[in-house]
Chains A and B, each alone.
Chain A
Amino acid sequence: MKLRWIGLGALLVLGLIAPFFVYPVFLMKALCFALFACAFNLLLGYTGLLSFGHAAFFGTAGYVTGYAVKVLGVSPGLGILAGTLSAVVLGFIFGNLVIRRQGIYFAMITLALAQLMYFVFLESSFTGGEDGIQGIPRGRLLWVINLEDDRKLYYVVFAIFLFGFLLIRRTIHSPFGQVLKAIRENEPRALSLGYDVNKYKTLAFILSAGLAGLAGSTKAIVFTFVTLTDADWHTSGDVVLMTLLGGMGTVFGPIVGAFSIVTLQNQLADKVGSFVTVIMGGMFIVCVLVFRRGIIGELGALYHRVIGDRQF
C-alpha cells in the first residue's frame, strides 16, 4: 500500500523536474509511448489478452487529430479529443469482432485488422499516403497556453499522461479491474460465477484502444506529423516489447519499459541503423526465455524475498 503511493509520488516529482535536465521532446515522446504501453498493459497484463494490432488505434487517432487540426483547423485540444474518440469507435468495432474467437486467435485477428487499417491509410487521400500528414500546427490550448513552447507543451503532455495513467490505475484497482484479473486467471470460472466475460473483455478492449488513441493523438501534436509508421505492425510489436520488458501486469512496468526502449532506439538509431530490429528481436527472445516478469516484476519479486511485504 505504502509503496504504491511512494511510486506515484516519485513519478510525479520526476515528471515535474525532468524537463530541466532532459530534452523535452525526447521526454514527450517517451511519455506518449509510456501511455500507449500502459493502455496496452491493461489488456495483456490485467486481462490476459495479447493484442498485436494496437498500432491501429495509435495511428488512427494520430491521423484523425492531424487531419482535424491541420485541414479542418480545429484547436489542438479538440483535435486530441476527436482522435481519442475515433480510437474508441474503432476499438468498439474491433473489440466486437475479435471477441468472437477464443484464445490465440485474438493476436492474429488484431494483427490482421490493424494491417487492414494500415492499407486503408496507405490508399486513402486524406492521410497523404506514403508522406503522411506533415506540418500539423501545435497552436494554443484553450486559447492561452502556447504549445509552440516545448516546455509548456511538455507539461500539457505530462498532464495528459497522468490523466491516462491514473485512469488505468483506478480501473485496475476497481471492482471492474478485479473481474478482469479473474478472467485472466481463470476464464471459465469467472464465467461460471455469472460474469458476462465477453462484455468485460470488450469494455477493457475499448478502454485500452481509447487510451492508446489518446497517446497517438498527443504524439501527433508533439511531433507535428503522422506517418504510416505509427500504424505499422512494427509499432504494435514495439509496444508489446515495452510492456514485456518493463513487466506486464505491473502498474509502473510499461512506463519503465517505454522509457528504456525509446532511449535505446534514440541511442542506437544513428549508430547501428537497421540493425536495431535485430536487437529488439533479441530482447524479445531474452525476455520470453529468462525475464518473463520484466524489470518491475523482478524488482517486486526481489522486494518480496528481502522484506516480504505482501502489499506490493
Chain B
Amino acid sequence: MIEAAPRRRGAALFQPDHHMRGIFGIPTAALFGQLVLGLVNGCFYAMLSLGLSIIFGMLNIINFAHGAMYMMGAVFTWIALAQFGIGYWWSLLLVPLVIGIFGIIIERTLLRPLYKLDNLYGLLLTFGLALVIEGLFRYRYGVSGLPYSIPESFQGALNLGFMFLPKYRAWVVVASLLVCISTWLVIERTPIGAYLRAGTENSQLVQAFGINVPAMITITYGVGVGLAGLAGVLAAPATQISPLMGSNLIIVVFAVVVIGGMSSILGSIVTGLGLGLIEGMTKVFYSQASDTVVFFIMAVVLLVRPAGLFGKER
C-alpha cells in the first residue's frame, strides 16, 4: 500500500495550504491529496483484483502468488535500472512481459497437474509459491525499501487551483484506468474475449468447438500475472519497493474481491477504485481505521449482500 510518500528529490507532493478554507476543519489540499492517494491505491486494487478474477474464471484457482508477482514487477523495475540501466519506459513494457513468461512457466509446470483436484490445492500451491518468491527476494534484497525515482517527464506537480496534483500520481491513475478499460473491452467486445468468457462458463464445450483450451488457460494465467507485474512497475516510483510489499496488499485485494464478487470484470474495477477512495477518506477523518476499513466493509457486505456487490450466487 502506498503511504503518504516520503518526500523525494524533485517530486513536489501536495502541500497543505493553511490559508485555504477547509471542509470539516480539514484543509482542502490535504483532503484532496489523500483522495488522490486513495485513488492511486484503488487503481492497484482494481488491476490486481482484475487479474485475480480473470485467472479464477479460467483456472478456477485463487492465485495467492498474485501479490508476489506484483512485488516482482516492482523489484525487477528497480533491478533493470540499477543493474542494466534500463529506464522506466522500457520497464513498463519489458517487466510485465518477463512476469507473464514466468507465469506461463509456473502454469505449465506447477499448476497444470492440479486442475483435476479440488481448487483448495491451487490456493495452497500458490501460497507456497508466494512464500518461496517472497523469501528469496527477502534473502537477496532485505526488507528495507529500494529507491526508485520518478521518471523525468512526471516530476513535479500540476496546480489545479484547489490542490497540487503530483504528475506521477495522475499518470498512475490514467495508465491503470486505460489498462483496466482495455482489458474489459478485450474480454467483452472481441472474439478472443468471447472464447475466454465461453471457456469460463464451460471449457469442455469450448474445446469441443476446436479451440485449444489448455493454451488459452496458459495465456490467461500469463496475462493475469502480467497485469500484476504491470501494477508493480507503476508502483515502483510511487512507493517503497520492498520484498514484503505484495503480501499485505494481496490480503486487502482478497477482501476487495469478496466485496465485489469475481463474476463481473467491471464490478472488480469499480469496487477496487471505490474502496481505494474510501480508504483515502478514512485516512483523513479517522486514520487509525484506515488499515481495517476495507475488512469492515467486507464484513458488512457479507451481512447485507452475501454474494458481493456485483456477484451472482452460484
B132 and A274 contacting across the interface, CB-CB below 8 Å: no
- How many A-B pairs with Cβ below 8 Å? 132
Known interface pairs A102-B314, A104-B119, A112-B254; A281-B132 also in contact (CB < 8 Å): yes
Known interface pairs A284-B127, A292-B121; A97-B299 also in contact (CB < 8 Å): yes
Within the complex, which residue of A103, A105, A113, A289 is in contact with B125, where a contact is CB–CB below 8 Å?
A: A289
Q: Which residues of A contact B313 (CB under 8 A)?
A: 102
Q: Which residues of A contact B127 (CB under 8 A)?
A: 52, 237, 240, 281, 284
A109 and B247 CA atoms in complex are apart in Å by 15
Within the complex, which residue of A105, A112, A280 is in contact with B251, where a contact is CB–CB below 8 Å?
A: A112
Q: Which residues of A contact B132 (CB under 8 A)?
A: 277-278, 281-282, 285
**Nearest CB of chain B from residue A227's CB, rounded to whole Å:** 17
B258 and A240 contacting across the interface, CB-CB below 8 Å: no
Number of interface residues of A (CB under 8 A): 44
A109 and B301 CA atoms in complex are apart in Å by 11
Instruction: State which residues 215-243 of A face B: CB under 8 Å.
Output: 233, 237, 240
Q: Which residues of B contact A23 (CB under 8 A)?
A: none
* A107: Cβ under 8 A from any B Cβ: yes
- Where chain B touches its partner, the secondary structure class is helix
**Residue ID in chain A nearest B56 by CB atoms:** A104
Q: Which residues of A contact B125 (CB under 8 A)?
A: 284-285, 288-289
* A50: Cβ under 8 A from any B Cβ: yes
A109 and B311 CA atoms in complex are apart in Å by 15
* A5: Cβ under 8 A from any B Cβ: no
A240 and B123 CA atoms in complex are apart in Å by 11
Residue-wise interface mask of A (264-301) relative to B, using a CB-CB cutoff of 8 A (1 in contact, 0 not): 00000000011111111111110111001000000000
Within the complex, which residue of B62, B288, B302 is in contact with A97, where a contact is CB–CB below 8 Å?
A: B302
Q: Which residues of A contact B130 (CB under 8 A)?
A: 281
At the interface with chain B, which of A71-79, A114-122, A130-138, A141-149?
Answer: A114-122
**Residue ID in chain A nearest B136 by CB atoms:** A278
Q: Which residues of A contact B (CB under 8 A)?
A: 48, 50, 52, 97-98, 100-105, 107-109, 111-113, 115-116, 119-120, 122-123, 233, 237, 240, 244, 273-285, 287-289, 292
